[in-house]
Amino acid sequence: MANTTKLNVIYGDVTLGLSGPGFHYIFAYDRGGLESLVRYGKEWLYRTPKPAFWRATTDNDRGNGFSTSSAAWLGADMFSACTKIEVAVNGQSIPLPIAPENNKYSDHETAETVAIKFTYTTTTVPATTVTVEYVVDGAGKMTINTHYHGAAGLPELPVLGLRFVMPTAATGFDYQGLSGETYPDRLAGGRPGTYHVDGLPVTPYMVPQECGMHMANDWVKVTRATTQNNADPDHQPFSLTVSQNGHPFAFSCLPYTPEELENATHIEELPVARRTVLTVYGATRGVGGIDSWGADVEPQYHVAGDSDHDFSFEINGTTEA
């Protein structure tokens, strides 16, 4: 039994590979993050997940100048770089295992858990850091802990999250949370329950903008039926589930990044939907509504830039899936 729950660890020169029954993950030192998340032969990542700081400007954001005052986060959302990588095996830190450090390993290494932590330094002035730690166990369960270091002088954040871009568009998603599109200041009407959403609908606001937020979820399960793998003719649906770790989380599941939404003045200008953009949020600003030409979002629904924020969630292990 013990052997079956152990993680296989591949101490590569460019990446750290972790595998077990039904999963294979690759963390890339050169790409600064989780490069590959394969479950039962299906790839779930298009590019490495990065911290999310931006939301496509809402009409109210534009009207009250928030997108102007917080514009630094748009740059940070697109261009913040990974500046540090730390690895721990069975809870013990080890030096970054690249050659010659990894010459001591074999092709049959195992561990109980492996943690890898990426530090991203923002492009803001002043700069700050966000750490994203992935803790993986032998069942393939991935616990993701994110920490934002507040820094004096930073503008308020539109959002704080971790964005996963998947190679192909999802057929839909299921979640346990609130009905409809909800925000911190607009969730009283959301009815708790388990919901299915077909496809990846973009709320058709006249000018494409932040949309599709779901507050207070226990889990979300994304289902796709296609891959980019030329050797995979199978079109059976397959799923990935993200679950809460102690606190409900917010997410959006859309075919576009905030930057793609930001650039469009009409919904028909958006590109053909090719990907799935799943963003898990630790904090999100309210949308406001007093007016659309100056009134601020009420203060309790702001996300401070000068204080720390933490959030944590899980990607379910294969044995639970």
Partner 1 sequence: MKAEISWLDDPQTFRVNQLPAHSDHRGYATAAEAAEAKSSLVQSLDGSWGFAFSKDPQHRPVGFYEPDYDRSDFDRLAVPGHIELAGYGQIQYINTAYPWEGKHYRRPAYSMGADHPEKGMFSTDPENTVGSYVKHFTLNPELRHQRVSIEFDGVEQAMYLWLNGHFIGYAEDSFSRAEFDLTPYLQDGENLLAVEVFKHSTAAFLEDQDMFRFSGIFRSVRLVAKPALHLEDMTIRAGVDDAFVTGNLNVKLALSAADKLAGAVKVSLFDATGNVVWTDDSEAAAELTVQTTVNHVHLWNHHDPYLYRLEVTLLDADSQVVEVVPYPVGFRRIEMKDKIMQLNGKRLILNGVNRHEWDAHRGRAVTAADMAHDMQVFHDNHINAVRTCHYPDQDDWYYLCDQNGIYMMAENNLETHGTWQKMGAVEPSYNVPGSLPQWQLAVLDRAKSNYEMFKNHAAVLFWSLGNEAYAGDDIAAMDKFYHDADPTRLTHYEGVCRNRVYEDRISDMESMMYDPPREIEKYLQNDPDKPFVNCEYMHDMGNSIGGMNSYIDLIDKYPMYQGGFIWDYIDQALWTKDEVTGQPVLRYGGDFDDRHADYEFSGDGLLFADRTPKPALQEVDYYYGQHD
Q: How many CB atoms lie within 10 A of CB 300?
A: 8
Q: How many CB atoms lie within 10 A of CB 140?
A: 24
Between 87 and 200, whose beta carbon lies closer to partner 1? 200
Between 198 and 268, whose beta carbon lies closer to partner 1? 268
Q: What's the token pair of residue 280? A: 């898990």
d(CA 127, CA 150): 10
Between 85 and 267, whose beta carbon lies closer to partner 1? 267
The CB-of-202 to partner 1 minimum distance in angstroms stands at 12
Whether residue 100 is preceded by a cis peptide bond, meaning omega within 30 degrees of 0, is: yes
The CB-of-172 to partner 1 minimum distance in angstroms stands at 17
Which residues of the chain form contacts with partner 1 (CB under 8 A)? 58-60, 63, 179-191, 203-207, 209-211, 266-268, 286-293, 295, 297-298, 301
Nearest to 173 by CA among 159, 143, 203, 194: 194
H helices of the chain, in order, are 59-64, 66-69, 72-79, 258-263
Three-class secondary structure of residue 102 per DSSP: helix
Between 137 and 181, whose beta carbon lies closer to partner 1? 181
Between 97 and 212, whose beta carbon lies closer to partner 1? 212
Q: Where are the extended beta strands (E) located within 213-288?
A: 214-217, 219-224, 238-244, 249-254, 276-284
The CB-of-282 to partner 1 minimum distance in angstroms stands at 19
